[in-house]
Amino acid sequence: MSSSLDAGTTARTLFGRIEVPQALRALVRARESGLIALATLIGVIAGLVVAGMSWGVAIMHHFLFGVDWGDRLSAMTRINPIAAIIVPLTGGVVFGFFLWILVRVRPGREVDPIEANALHGGRMSFRGSLIVALQTVWSSGVGASVGLEAGYTQFASGIASWIGQAFRLRRRDLRVLVGCGAAAAIAGAFGAPLAGAFYAFELVIASYSVANLAPVGVSALVGYLVASKLVEAPLGIGSLYVSHVRGVDLVISALVGLMAAGVGVLLMRSVAACETLMNKVRIRPVLRPALGGLVVGMLAIISPEVLSSGHGAIQISSIYAQPLSMIALLFVLKSVASIISLGTGFRGGLFFASLLIGSLGGRMFSDVVTYIWPSSGLDPHVYAIVGLGALSVSVIGGPLTMTFIALETTGDFWLTTAVLIAIIVAAQVTRETFGYSFATWRFHLRGEGIRSAADIGWIRELTVRRMMRPDIRTVPAFTTVGRFRLVYPLGSTAQVIAVDEQKRYAGMVTVSDAHAPELDEARPIRDIMHHRDSWLLPTMTVKEAVILFDRAEAEALAVVEAPDNKEVVGLLTEAYALKRYSTELEQRRQEILGE
């Protein structure tokens, strides 16, 4: 026996589940400072993840596209046409073949941080997260127009969840630790610790409390420090030149937010439409990434800035000095490239792409307004950043996240005010007209009713099977009232389940009704049965059960194994279901408030 593991500890593989000694688990679970210590560790790991994935993409760009060390693929103004076509096409072929193998070796899909916290109590797969990270690196490395943020947050949060499960953390603490991984990853990628922290609060944990402030904040700060030491130029949006923001700019920014919401919704719907088109034309999934790579490569010949995530393009201040026609062309090409890349199966996010598209859109807006209203004096650099924040919040969500990205990137408070106004308008319009972010929209297309990372998984886990009483009392439906009275006198029980000749559910008999004086003892109890067509299934959630109780106006209902055979497996009362429901709701309230 290993001296470092207690008798109840299991250690499978490097990527499987492992449990730390019980004494150490108890130390971490007993104090909030224990969770902060784990969050610090997660911050270090997330910083290394950001640096490692950045290096991986840079190495691929160097050898595949001939990009000089220290430069970025999307910063190139010219590219070898042969490489522009061959690399994404070949990369798509390899990627499609990998997916074909993966489906057979590892069926199903991987859970991302938002879904993990919403439905699974923060539980994520280490192996699955590593696979997603490698897929993202490959997709961006071969030039697909996808963002790396999906891989950053997936892998960092996956490691955080793996560590949290090793310590057997409580559900609420595990969810916070997953948020710490995402916070540190975003902070390291953008060089913005405040934005990273609020990314976790708004998008991954879906709540803010005093209890989760310290671990998330510390993790974001450590992730930023580690990444900034290892990566010379973090994958952030860079600081653009800004000028004084006037009062009129604050008003016009609201219009930018309105237009950005429309563009954001169009982008998200277009990705889904591209996936639908692939299904309609019956292109095999293994071939779709190759088709996407070919299209992106053809677009890259026109404008190399469409390749990869677009960080190089957004950091070139000279691009905003180009004529409006060039800006508009890149705006369209980058949008199409991102839609095609994601719609044909490449792995990545839309966050980074939305930053570039939004900044280009803001620049276009300022040029058009200046042409119509020459005396307006709009600064294109200001509106590039306003558009950047507005479109990104429409696509990703997280108003405070995008506000802090603008503030930490530019250091300009007045500019951040203009960005905040645009963000508020864009977020509200998107919320009312569309109702989803890009992540939750993808959940919706898969049939998941997730609107945020708010913990609703406990409702699915609190099923009728977990609440029902298996020690049921049944009686044949042909039993006479007199016989029933002898077996079940008044006070013995309240409800008895009646079954037919095949032992299937027939109805409910109330003991007090069976003892009514006016009843003839020779009558069968089937004449006084209730709720013949109302029953519960073991897989129903507590919420569904409560709705059925209300609809049937019943105090208790039988639980049957399946609707086709109606084999009785248990009994559930409305009072107990409501009690459990209320208890769980109160526990969730305490977690949100940090009590």
Tokens 């109590």, located at residue: 121
Average pLDDT of the chain, as a whole number: 88
Average pLDDT over residues 208-225: 93
Residue 118's closest CA among 175, 160, 162, 164? 175
Instruction: Give domain status of residue 378, yes or no.
Output: yes
**Tokens linked to 561:** 């194994």
CATH number of the domain bearing residue 519: 3.10.580.10
**Confidence at residue 77, expressed as pLDDT on a 0 to 100 scale:** 79
Same domain, 496 and 447: no
Model pLDDT for residues 286-310, shown as the tens digit of each residue: 999 999 999 999 999 999 989 988 7
* Integer Cα distance of 476 and 484 in angstroms: 10
Same domain, 441 and 466: no
* Integer Cα distance of 591 and 586 in angstroms: 9
**Confidence at residue 56, expressed as pLDDT on a 0 to 100 scale:** 95
Average pLDDT over residues 306-331: 77
Instruction: Give domain status of residue 238, yes or no.
Output: no
Instruction: Give domain status of residue 242, yes or no.
Output: no
**Tokens linked to 426:** 């864009």
Least-confidence region, from 138-152, 300-314, 468-482: 300-314
Q: For the chain, how many structural domains are there in total?
A: 3
**Confidence at residue 4, expressed as pLDDT on a 0 to 100 scale:** 36
Same domain, 151 and 251: no
Higher pLDDT, 1 or 79: 79
How many secondary structure helices (H) and strands (E) does the chain include?
24, 5
**Confidence at residue 431, expressed as pLDDT on a 0 to 100 scale:** 92
Whether residue 233 has pLDDT greater than 70 = no
Same domain, 447 and 472: no
* Integer Cα distance of 207 and 225 in angstroms: 25
Instruction: Give domain status of residue 237, yes or no.
Output: no
**Confidence at residue 318, expressed as pLDDT on a 0 to 100 scale:** 52
Instruction: Give domain status of residue 107, yes or no.
Output: yes
Instruction: Give domain status of residue 7, yes or no.
Output: no
Instruction: Give domain status of residue 214, yes or no.
Output: yes
Same domain, 400 and 515: no
**Tokens linked to 473:** 């009392």
Model pLDDT for residues 111-127, shown as the tens digit of each residue: 999 999 988 899 999 99
* Prediction pTM value: 0.85
563: containing domain: 459-588
Residue 195's closest CA among 174, 224, 175, 152? 224
Average pLDDT over residues 24-34: 82
Same domain, 39 and 179: yes
CATH number of the domain bearing residue 139: 1.10.3080.10
Residue 495's closest CA among 560, 565, 570, 546? 570
Same domain, 463 and 399: no
Model pLDDT for residues 76-101, shown as the tens digit of each residue: 878 899 999 999 999 999 999 999 99
Q: Is residue 143 a contact partner of residue 308, using CB atoms and an 8 Å limit?
A: yes
Average pLDDT over residues 392-416: 90
Instruction: Give the total residue count for the chain.
Output: 595
Least-confidence region, from 141-145, 188-192, 228-232, 555-559: 228-232
Same domain, 393 and 477: no
Instruction: Give domain status of residue 16, yes or no.
Output: no
* Integer Cα distance of 345 and 341 in angstroms: 7
Whether residue 513 has pLDDT greater than 80 = yes
Tokens 């989760």, located at residue: 212
Model pLDDT for residues 52-69, shown as the tens digit of each residue: 999 999 999 999 999 988
pLDDT band with cut points at 50, 70 and 90 for residue 247? confident
The proportion of the chain whose per-residue pLDDT surpasses 70, expressed as a percent, equals: 92
Whether residue 155 has pLDDT greater than 90 = yes
Same domain, 480 and 428: no
Residue ranges of alpha helices (H) inside 453-509 are 457-461, 464-467, 481-487
Same domain, 68 and 198: yes
Last residue of a domain, which of 453, 482, 508?
453
**Confidence at residue 235, expressed as pLDDT on a 0 to 100 scale:** 42
Same domain, 546 and 447: no
Same domain, 180 and 42: yes
pLDDT band with cut points at 50, 70 and 90 for residue 2? very low
**Tokens linked to 243:** 């000028």
**Confidence at residue 593, expressed as pLDDT on a 0 to 100 scale:** 64
Last residue of a domain, which of 415, 437, 453?
453
Query: At 404, which helix (H) or strand (E)?
Result: helix 399-410
DSSP three-state, residue 22: helix
Q: What are phi and psi of 98, to 5 degrees?
A: -65, -40
* Integer Cα distance of 393 and 302 in angstroms: 29
DSSP three-state, residue 8: coil
Residues 6+ apart with CB under 8 A from 189: 50, 148, 149, 152, 227, 234, 235, 236
Whether residue 11 has pLDDT greater than 70 = no
Tokens 């070139």, located at residue: 316
Residue 190's closest CA among 154, 148, 234? 234
Rg of the chain taking only CA atoms, in angstroms: 29
β-strand pairing of 495-499 with 474-476? parallel
Last residue of a domain, which of 402, 423, 453?
453
